[in-house]
Amino acid sequence: MWLRIIHRLCLYWCFLYADDIALLACSCFGLQKLINVCIAYGRQWDISFNPVKSQIACFGGKSPDCEIMYIGSTRASWCNRIKYLGCHFKCNRGEVDPSCFLGRFYGAFNNIVNVLGTRRDEMLAVHLVKTYCLPSLLYGCETWHLNNTDTKSIDIA
């Protein structure tokens, strides 16, 4: 579900999924306005936003470190990588960082191999990999935009 607000000829976006909110704006001023709207709404309906868990990033360029953003009364810092709905995004290029997915895949795979031991049933191993490893590797892959190196890493896994 998303909401569009037009203010001062800028287009702002708000993506909502359960208790996760992603605010997108074309300027720091617009982003601060969206944050203020969320904070005001939260005060009205007794919803608190956790500034420690919140992340602010700039896609497609360097973070404007000179711009100070506030979530309520807490100063927010700029990030180079953000997490939304389990996917980590590299902010400078807008690509997904697949390292967390690869780590989960290899962790689950190694656990399966260790539990099954040397006398393992191949069909059981294939079933367990398809059930536990592939979903952890491919979660959110519909949103991915990978470079060649990341694509090779996923292919190898």
What is the pLDDT, as a whole number, of residue 46? 92
**Pairing of β 69-71 and β 95-96:** unpaired
What is the pLDDT, as a whole number, of residue 98? 87
| Per-residue pLDDT in tens (0 to 9) along the chain, 157 residues | 334 433 443 455 777 778 888 888 888 888 888 899 889 988 999 988 888 888 888 877 777 777 888 988 898 888 888 888 878 888 877 778 888 889 999 999 999 999 998 877 889 989 999 999 999 888 888 877 788 888 898 888 8
Radius of gyration of the chain (CA): 20
**pTM for this prediction:** 0.67
Q: How many CB atoms lie within 10 A of CB 82?
A: 17
Question: Rounded to an integer, what distance in angstroms lies between the CA atom of residue 140 and that of residue 142?
Answer: 5
- Is 44 exposed, middle or buried (CB count within 10 Å of its CB: 0-12, 13-18, 19+)? exposed
What is the pLDDT, as a whole number, of residue 12? 56
Question: Rounded to an integer, what distance in angstroms lies between the CA atom of residue 52 and that of residue 77?
Answer: 10
- 3-class secondary structure per residue, 58-91: CCCCCCCCCCCEEECCEEECECCEEEECCEEEEC
What is the pLDDT, as a whole number, of residue 8? 41
Tell me the domain boundaries of the chain.
2-95, 99-156
